[in-house]
Structure 1
Amino acid sequence: MAGETLINHSMNRAEWLALLLLSVLWGGSFFFAAVQIKALPPFTIVFLRVGLAAVILNALVKALGMKMPGSRSAWLAFFGMGLLNNAVPFCLVVWGQSHIASGLAAILNATTPISTVIVAHLLTDDEKMSGNRFLGVAIGFFGVVILIGPDSLKGLGTNLLAQVAVLTAAIFYAFAGVYGRRFKLMGIEPILTATGQVTASAIVLFPIAMLVDNPWTLTMPALPVWEAIVGSAVLSTSLGYVLYFRILATAGATNLLLVTFLIPVSAIIMGTFGLGEHLEVRQFAGLAFIGAGLAAIDGRPLTLFRRLAHATRI
């Protein structure tokens, strides 16, 4: 990936808004998975998510008069992205979430930017690790721990395999973020990339779900489970990945995967305004740390502060 294309290190307003929207869409995926996992096995949950999303996105592509790439190189890239970004990490997270608390899963998932900073530094020329980035990621991760609550860490050390699964998923997401930069260079639109990725993932997961889960033997899920399936496919996957590839094309992998810091923030805000829940002092503190971390990574607030400090000295 080295030397392929330059990426914006500081996101513009539109990219920040898109990242916030993506955090809301992906924040819902933890809720949708928690509903489904009570009635369905992991491979079936993931296949239904990407399979239904593939149907929706392929129909949308056709309705828009667009055409999917037909080249071998494009589909090899779609299958590579599908494995790195969907098939493997989705299964790891859903399986891990069935054995550990959702709060702990969210904290482990929030290690994604840390992995991404390292992977992008090693594999790209224009997303090298800087002092601001490293400090911002550390502050942001600390903010996530505070926001969700130290009590979520009580399970750390038990169900070790499930925790390793979620951590491994975060590493896959990091590699996917860097790998996915190639689609812009290939001239493939974000909606086509999202469609190809979930289609490839569905093809890979179909035989696995059939052989392992034997879904035809399962009890028919209740309506709330079907609603969670549809929500996961339509919102978290179809719309979510169109946004994902649009942000990735201009902002880069490191900036994009800051979304994992914002996912618990979105969940807290939705709970406050939608369900009448009240924020605690530690949650305000967590939000402040996450904001400070994002500001450090973006760089512009620090630059402005230095200019103001220099002006006052003069």
Structure 2
Amino acid sequence: MTSQKTLTARTWSELILLGVIWGMSFLAIRIALDTIPVITSVFHRVFWAALALWIVIIFQRQPVPSDPKVWGIFLIMGLLNNVLPFSLMAWGQLYVETGLTSILNAATAIFGVLLAALFFRDERLTKTRLLGVGLGFLGVSITIGLRQFSNLNPSNLGQVAILAGTLSYAFAAIWARIHMSTLPPQIAAAGMLTGSAILMTPVMLLVDGVPTFTLPLQTWLAIAYYALLATAGAYLLYYRVLQQAGSGNVLLVTLIIPPIAILMGALVRDEALPPRAFIGFTILAIGLLILSRSRRRD
């Protein structure tokens, strides 16, 4: 499905930059959650990101879709790729460390491979991919510590919510390939985020009420970071890297994100992860590397 591409020095630098941006977003989200509720934090993320992308699109003079069917596709994509995973993961971060959240987030690639094999004939599960998926799930299992689930508590439920968010991301990738592959990346991202904002607005008003704008400076800085840089800007950078590197190589960004998130969580919030988290991530990383190599060969 994807042709093998060589990573140039520039593409490597952009891939690393993308990983750093997304890695730091987990800390920014957690800082915002100290002041604003989960649903409101997600609304800020999708609303300001959508606004920023439409400004870019208007500046570039790209045509805006007018077909109601396309906007229906945007709504479903927004639900799967933003509303559900952003909300589930933000709620999970209330009880789960920043670094651990980022490790569990890497399970998106594992679920993505499995679902792609179910929906697309050209994404069959080869022995190599099965090995990568198996190691990925083993790594996730070690990271969360399955024995911990003998007694449910907020931390365990938070981890389940985060994993549910990664599953939603994987379904979003399927939906995007089926319905959005012909749309320009900027239009697809802006439309999806606009659909997300439309869906989040009534939920926010019902659950949290009208958002207040009298927030601490650090909260606004956190919102600006995860909405404008880690969402709007990162989408533009992601599609650029995807075009230059191919889907197999861009999967490597999932290996860059957790170390950044773990480091920032430790430095800013004094978080310390249990040894099993690092062991699990190492095994998960090996699985992701195997999957990355298998996709580059397709």
Q: Which TM-score bucket, shorter chain as reference?
A: 0.7 to 0.9
Partner Cα separation in structure 1 for residue 233 and residue 277 of structure 2: 28
Summarize the Cα distance change of 1:16–1:83 in structure 2 as closer, same or farther, 3 Å threshold.
farther
How far 1:283 moved relative to its partner?
Answer: 10
Partner Cα separation in structure 2 for residue 57 and residue 23 of structure 1: 20
Partner Cα separation in structure 2 for residue 100 and residue 287 of structure 1: 16
How far 1:106 moved relative to its partner?
Answer: 2.7
- Superposed, which structure 2 residues align to 1:21-60 within 5 Å? 21-60=17-56
2:81 is aligned with 1:85: yes
2:288 is aligned with 1:297: no
Contact 1:33 1:94 in 2 (8 A): yes
Aligned residue type for 1:221: L
Summarize the Cα distance change of 1:286–1:172 in structure 2 as closer, same or farther, 3 Å threshold.
closer
Summarize the Cα distance change of 1:28–1:107 in structure 2 as closer, same or farther, 3 Å threshold.
same
How far 1:251 moved relative to its partner?
Answer: 4.0
How far 1:176 moved relative to its partner?
Answer: 0.9
Identity %: 37
Contact 1:22 1:240 in 2 (8 A): yes
Partner Cα separation in structure 2 for residue 85 and residue 260 of structure 1: 17
How far 1:256 moved relative to its partner?
Answer: 5.3
Q: Give the TM-score normalised by structure 1.
A: 0.76
Quote the residue 1:169 is aligned against: 165
Quote the residue 2:131 is aligned against: 135
Q: 1:103 aligns with which of 99, 103, 110?
A: 99
Partner Cα separation in structure 2 for residue 199 and residue 219 of structure 1: 21
Q: Secondary structure at the match of 2:197?
A: helix
Partner Cα separation in structure 1 for residue 276 and residue 161 of structure 2: 28
Summarize the Cα distance change of 1:295–1:258 in structure 2 as closer, same or farther, 3 Å threshold.
closer
Aligned residue type for 2:198: I
Q: 2:202 aligns with which of 204, 207, 232?
A: 207
How many residues in Structure 1 have an aligned counterpart in Structure 2? 288
How far 1:38 moved relative to its partner?
Answer: 0.4
Q: Secondary structure at the match of 1:232?
A: helix
Contact 1:39 1:221 in 2 (8 A): yes
- Superposed, which structure 2 residues align to 1:178-257 within 5 Å? 178-182=174-178, 185-186=181-182, 188-216=183-211, 218=212, 220-245=214-239, 251-252=246-247
Partner Cα separation in structure 1 for residue 177 and residue 249 of structure 2: 12
Summarize the Cα distance change of 1:125–1:17 in structure 2 as closer, same or farther, 3 Å threshold.
farther
Summarize the Cα distance change of 1:67–1:296 in structure 2 as closer, same or farther, 3 Å threshold.
same
How far 1:41 moved relative to its partner?
Answer: 0.2
How far 1:204 moved relative to its partner?
Answer: 1.0
Quote the residue 2:269 is aligned against: none
Q: Give the TM-score normalised by structure 2.
A: 0.79
- CA deviation profile, 1:52-78 (whole Å, cap 9, x unmatched): 011111111101111221112221221
Partner Cα separation in structure 2 for residue 222 and residue 139 of structure 1: 43
Root-mean-square deviation (CA), in Å?
3.8
Aligned residue type for 2:199: V
**Structure 1 residues 284-293 or 124-133, which shifts more?**
284-293
Quote the residue 1:260 is aligned against: 254
Contact 1:46 1:91 in 2 (8 A): yes
Partner Cα separation in structure 1 for residue 284 and residue 5 of structure 2: 16
What are the ranges of 5 or more consecutive residues in structure 2 without an aligned counterpart? 267-274
How far 1:12 moved relative to its partner?
Answer: 3.8
How far 1:102 moved relative to its partner?
Answer: 2.6
Q: Which has the larger radius of gyration?
A: 1
How far 1:286 moved relative to its partner?
Answer: 7.9
Partner Cα separation in structure 2 for residue 25 and residue 37 of structure 1: 19
Q: Secondary structure at the match of 1:299?
A: helix
Summarize the Cα distance change of 1:183–1:289 in structure 2 as closer, same or farther, 3 Å threshold.
same
Q: Secondary structure at the match of 1:70?
A: coil
Aligned residue type for 1:210: L
Aligned residue type for 2:71: W
- CA deviation profile, 1:234-277 (whole Å, cap 9, x unmatched): 1111012224445667845x7756643431034357799xxxxx
Summarize the Cα distance change of 1:184–1:198 in structure 2 as closer, same or farther, 3 Å threshold.
closer
Contact 1:96 1:166 in 2 (8 A): yes
Summarize the Cα distance change of 1:80–1:150 in structure 2 as closer, same or farther, 3 Å threshold.
closer
